[in-house]
Amino acid sequence: MTHPPEHFQGKSVPEHLKDARKKGALATAEVHGPELPGHLAAAYDSAKDTATALLVLWALSLSLLPGDPIVFPLLLCFGFGFVLWKAGRTALRGWSRLERLHKVIEEERWEIEHHRDQEREELAEMYAAKGFTGKLLDEVVDVLMADDNRLLQVMLEEELGLSLEVYEHPLKQCLGSFIGAFSTAALLLLAHFFWPLFGIPTLALLVIGHAASRGAKLEKRGQLTAVVWNFSLSVFATAATYFLAKYLI
């Protein structure tokens, strides 16, 4: 691994700490945000995506193949493939995020081993910002510098802003995504089987609304706003697909 010769790269300690926070945020960034547990976010997103995808395909079949018996097998095959795609993609994103996190951890471990004076300056700056001064500040820094494992944990949490215990295993997120996508696909396909004309749009909008509402509630966001925006996007995509097919074919 190649490392820069100067730890701070010409920056002050506060500037270095600010850049380190950005680095930590980038390493752990995910589309779901930090508030909602990964498996729940994956489940709700997969439910909304699966409902919208089947809704769009239903609109396309209604425009091009009205009443054709091939529509149900087509929806079934598409739903099967989409469920596998969503679950696999979620797992891959989780592994990618873990790889970025491990890289950041190893880089910080290298800095602790090779730039101890600079790490001490960073510690002093961080704990001075917390209100530690004088002899007490020196004692805190000395204690942390004496244990490399503890120092690594502190630098990851305080310098980079990471909270390692909240990161879920990619397979757990994959399972959440699979459950969300599979249950949605199963419900919509059953609805279409018993009510071909309006089964999918009715159930799809209910699923989208429920998933958007639950996700917003757990993240402490406006539930009504989340539902309206998700409804609007799904309906717009479906209508646009339907009328485009009518226009082109």
Segment 206-220 mean pLDDT: 91
Instruction: Supply the pTM of this predicted model.
Output: 0.71
In a domain, 1, yes or no: no
Query: What is the model's pLDDT at position 142?
Result: 83
End-to-end Cα, the chain, rounded Å: 57
The per-residue pLDDT for range 58-109, each reduced to its tens digit, is 999 998 888 889 999 999 999 999 999 999 999 998 888 888 888 878 887 8
Q: 2 in a domain, yes or no?
A: no
Residue 234's pLDDT is: 94
Q: What are the Cα distances from residue 104, in Å, to 24, 97, 101, 219?
A: 7, 11, 5, 27
| Stronger pLDDT, 189 or 132, i.e. the higher one | 189
4 in a structural domain: no
pLDDT at position 165 is: 58
Assigned domain for 144 exists: yes
Instruction: For 216-236, write each residue's pLDDT tens digit.
Output: 888 888 999 999 999 999 999
Q: Is residue 131 part of a domain?
A: yes
The Cβ-side half-sphere exposure at 223, using a 13 Å CA radius, reads: 9
Mean pLDDT value across residues 180-187:
97
By C-alpha distance, which of 229, 159, 226, 168 is closest to 30? 168
Work out how many domains the chain is built from and give that number.
1
pLDDT at 229: 95
Residue 15: predicted pLDDT: 52
116 has a pLDDT exceeding 70: yes
In this prediction, residues 185-201 reach a mean pLDDT of 94
- Report pLDDT for 166: 57
194 in a structural domain: yes
Tell me, what's the pLDDT at 154? 77
Our measurement of the distance from residue 166's CA atom to the centroid of its chain's CA atoms, rounded to an integer in Å, reads 13
Mean residue pLDDT of the chain comes to 82
Determine what percent of the chain falls in helix, strand and coil, rounding each to the nearest 5: 80, 0, 20
Structural domain span for residue 193: 13-28+36-248
Chain-centroid distance, C-alpha 62: 34
Residue 215, token pair as written in the block: 């996700």
